[in-house]
Amino acid sequence: MVAPTVSSDPDVPSDTAEPRRPRPVLPLLGRCLAAGAAGVLLFLAVPPRPTWWLAPLGIAVLGLLLRATGRARAGFGYGMLAGLGYFVPLLAWTGEFVGPVAWLPLAAAEAVFVGLVGAACVATSGLPGWPLVAALLWVCGEALRSVVPFGGFPWGKLAFGQPDGLYLPLAAVGGAPLIGFAVALTGFGAAQLLHRVLVERERRPRRLAGPAVALVLPVAAGLAAIPLVGTAADAGEITVAAIQGNVPRAGLDFNAQRRAVLDNHVRRTEQLADDVRAGRMPRPDLVIWPENSSDIDPIRNSDARSVIDRAARAVGVPIVVGGVMQGPDGPTNTMILWDPDRGPVEFYTKRQLQPFGETMPYRAFFRLFSKDVDRAGRFVPGTDPTVFGVGPARVAMATCYEVAFDGVVRESVLNGSNLLVVPTNNATFGYTEMTYQQLAMDRVRAVEHGRAVVVAATSGVSAIVPPDGSISQRTGLFTPAALVERVPLRSATTISDRLGALPEWVMVFAGLAALTTALAVRRRRRTSTVGDRRARADEEEHG
């Protein structure tokens, strides 16, 4: 924190009549440590911890640092440090079996976007309503890193840490971007309020009212949005079973045991069939297997086809099978609707592929740093948001990594679905927090689209998520399991579905407009000051 002093430097924004350059009262090391701590608070807000309220607190700490500097370069530095404090622990799962060669560069790349937001927040600090502007800029940063590089990496959006928080109902109104905006507005509002009270020694209610509203309004909006979270089964109900067959061992080489993985899922499905016949479990209408449950192409391989047929006949209902199929252009990650009588009848091919996993950008370049790049696949993406029809159910798919992408999930849900299924394979990431982070996204999507979500994972965590984002059932890690539950089918669309990407684009446009305005004001001040100095110099020279 700083005490403001008057400065003649025109390149310093301020919300007062005279430009000010704050004078720091914390040493540089202390400010850098505080920035890193802000990022750690953001990380600690993310599941499996229920401490969602740490996210606005982390934003508030970062906001105080940004309000205490008048230099955009310093804002970038603080943002970068906060980003590292957040993404280094958050993305540790990416290096679980390949080491820091993937983990640390990815965390640093994501931190750059937070740095850019920090610089922009400092550049706009002279505008009125700074907490609102800063929150809009945070949305801009998340939107940017959702599309670049390599198709984007939206993992770690503020919204994905809020499935247990008061902001969650806002997903039904404006999706994940609106939750992120609300969290950021709370944090930046708190920062502005504390800065005015503790640093500026401000006591006038008029000057404190704006930040106070920014602090409280997002929470009030979240509470007000609760009635908009739809849960009624307006299209009927269906009993689903999520099968978690487990893998022989965690790690990158689980695919070497692909027949064992397939056999595990067949065995666990046959066990479910036995439990149904014995009356220990209700009979499902649909069984969901995870992504990669049959990495042996069951269309080409008669043995794989035979054992899947056997499992489907045993349970007597369709199974959604996660297969790797060999196409003319390369392998595809495909979910197959497998009928007990007709075999494979419908197909959904994953559209949003994971770079450095299913694909490898700049393979030759990255091979210079690690031979593990050749473990990455050469998968071909799908193009259609196919919905499976099973009785009254219209089942949309968001395969694993896809659930992080707003537009991909929205397109599948709006293609006539009334149930959302997330088949996933997290065995590669061992016992890390990755699967819990992904489950948090599933819970946000449930509220955002008003759909029950069935999560089937090869090694866990599998779960049943009602449309209100709660968890009704879940499994542990690396254990065979089956979850069976009757879930609502909902064809109603949420406000978020109807608005689509509009709220995010409005916020991005408003944030960029504010930044452009602030930069134009700075330029005019600089030009004006230079002109005044020249005029004074001419007057002194000519007496």
The closest alpha carbon to 142, from 197, 186, 179, 98, belongs to 179
Three-class SS string for 362-411? CHHHHHCCCHHHHHCCCCCCCCCCCCEEECCEEEEECCHHHHHCHHHHHH
State yes or no: is 157 an active-site residue.
no
| CA 133 to mean position of chain CA atoms | 22
CA distances from 348 to 29, 324, 339, 384, 385 (A): 52, 11, 15, 7, 7
Marked catalytic residue, from 140, 157, 350, 504: 350
DSSP E strand stretches across 413-488: 419-424, 453-457, 463-465, 473-474, 481-488
State yes or no: is 350 an active-site residue.
yes
- Which tokens belong to 316? 């007597």
Marked catalytic residue, from 110, 121, 400, 433: 400
State yes or no: is 371 an active-site residue.
no
Contact yes or no for 204/10 (Cβ under 8 A)? no
What is the Cα–Cα distance from 117 to 141, expressed in whole angstroms? 6
| CA 433 to mean position of chain CA atoms | 14
Marked catalytic residue, from 110, 291, 402, 433: 291
The closest alpha carbon to 418, from 387, 455, 443, 439, belongs to 387
What is the Cα–Cα distance from 112 to 186, expressed in whole angstroms? 23
Question: Residue 271 belongs to what H/E stretch?
Answer: helix 258-277
Active site residues: 291, 350, 400
